[in-house]
Amino acid sequence: MKDIEIREGDWTTLGEAASEIRRVVFIEEQSVPIEEEWDGLDPACRHFLALLNGVPIGTARLLPDAHIGRVAVLQEGRGLGIGASLMQAAIDTARRLGHERVELAAQTHALAFYERLGFMACGGEFLDAGIPHRNMHLRLSQ
């Protein structure tokens, strides 16, 4: 049985582990330019860190305007429900903070993942860091 824990905190608390996960997933695996990954917004965000059997394995962030982003799970943790657990934590926090909806820019290969969580795609496809994306949103019940 896998033991998955989700921690919520600020960049000072979770940033070291989260930044390493993002470096591996976005910069190394997906070739996102360093200057695009480190956008300066992290200190203003709520961060989520997934641990698998006590080891950091995934991360996500919630911006003050209720955008969810930087959802990343290391390869060895994919397919275990970690991404969904991170997303649920971010959605729950947005609801707790009083947001009426959450939004994100999804890589097109991950659209079905977000749709399973209730997100709806809106607008056309666009490139972000050279990767095809679509905007998505989820209305939160108050």
* pLDDT tens track for 14-33: 999 999 999 999 999 999 99
The burial class, CB within 10 Å (0-12 / 13-18 / 19+), for 34 is exposed
Phi, psi of 65 (to 5 degrees): -90, 15
Query: Element (H or E) spanning 121, and its range?
Result: strand 120-128
Token pair, residue 85, equals: 């657990």
Question: Strand, coil or helix: what is 126?
Answer: strand
Residues 109 and 34: their CA atoms lie apart, in Å, by 22
Q: Using alpha carbons only, how large is the chain's radius of gyration in Å?
A: 14
| Per-residue pLDDT at 141 | 75
Residues 87 and 73: their CA atoms lie apart, in Å, by 11
Residues of the chain with pLDDT under 70: 1, 142
Residue 90 sits in which domain range? 4-139
Which domain CATH number covers 24?
A: 3.40.630.30
| Per-residue pLDDT at 13 | 96
Number of domains present in the structure of the chain = 1
**Entry field: residues in the chain:** 142
